[in-house]
Amino acid sequence: MYDVMLEEANMWLDEPPQRKRKLETPVNPPPLACPAIYEDSSDEEVDPVALSKYQQQVSESGGFDVDLFFQPFGGIVPSGCTDHSIIFGKVGLHCYNLEKGTNLQFKEVTKVNTQISSILTFFITLEATDPAHDDSPVTFQTCLTDTVIMHQARLRTFTTTCRIKPQVPGTGEMGSYWYPDKHVDPCYRVDLPNWPQDDALIGVDKLQFYEVKDWELKDNQWLYLYAEFALFSYRNDDLSAYMPFEMKKVVVQTKEDMKLKSGNAVFYLSFNTSCGRVCRGVVRRTTDGKPGHMCLEARCWVDK
Residue pLDDT, tens place only, 1-45: 444 444 444 443 444 443 333 333 333 333 333 333 334 444 467
Question: Whole-model pTM?
Answer: 0.82
d(CA 267, CA 272): 16
pLDDT classification of 198: cutoffs 50, 70, 90: low
pLDDT one-digit tens code per residue, 98-155: 999 999 999 999 999 999 888 899 999 999 999 999 999 999 999 999 987 889 999 9
Burial of 76 (0-12, 13-18, 19+ CB in 10 A): buried
| Pair (120, 53) in one structural domain | yes
pLDDT one-digit tens code per residue, 145-189: 998 788 999 999 999 999 999 999 888 888 888 999 999 999 999
Could you say which of 137, 164, 180 is where a domain stops? 180
| Pair (161, 215) in one structural domain | no
Does residue 58 surpass a pLDDT of 60?
yes
| Pair (193, 139) in one structural domain | no
Does residue 265 surpass a pLDDT of 80?
yes
CATH of the domain at 202: 3.10.450
The number of domains in the chain is: 2
Q: How many percent of the chain have pLDDT more than 70?
A: 82
| Pair (195, 288) in one structural domain | yes
pLDDT one-digit tens code per residue, 72-99: 777 899 998 999 999 999 999 999 999 9
Question: What pLDDT is stored for residue 4 in this prediction?
Answer: 45
| Pair (175, 194) in one structural domain | no
CB 285 within 8 A of CB 294: yes
Question: What pLDDT is stored for residue 47 in this prediction?
Answer: 85
d(CA 80, CA 31): 9
β-strands 209-211, 155-164 pairing: unpaired
Task: Spell out the residues 6+ positions from residue 171 whose beta carbon is closer than 8 angstroms to its own.
Answer: none
| Pair (149, 40) in one structural domain | yes
Q: What is the DSSP letter of 188?
A: G
What distance separates the 2 farthest-apart alpha carbons in the chain?
Answer: 67
| Pair (90, 235) in one structural domain | no
| Pair (227, 122) in one structural domain | no
> For the chain, how many residues are written?
304
| Pair (259, 172) in one structural domain | no
Comparing CA positions, the residue from 280, 261, 276, 124 lying closest to residue 194 is 280
Beta strands in 117-240 (DSSP E): 120-130, 136-146, 155-164, 209-211
Q: What is the mean pLDDT of residues 254-273?
A: 94
| Pair (39, 99) in one structural domain | yes
Question: What pLDDT is stored for residue 148 in this prediction?
Answer: 79
- Structural domain harbouring 80: 2-180
| Pair (151, 201) in one structural domain | no
| Pair (163, 20) in one structural domain | yes
d(CA 98, CA 102): 7
CATH of the domain at 93: 3.10.450.10
Question: What pLDDT is stored for residue 280 in this prediction?
Answer: 97
CB 57 within 8 A of CB 64: no
β-strands 246-253, 209-211 pairing: antiparallel
d(CA 270, CA 217): 13
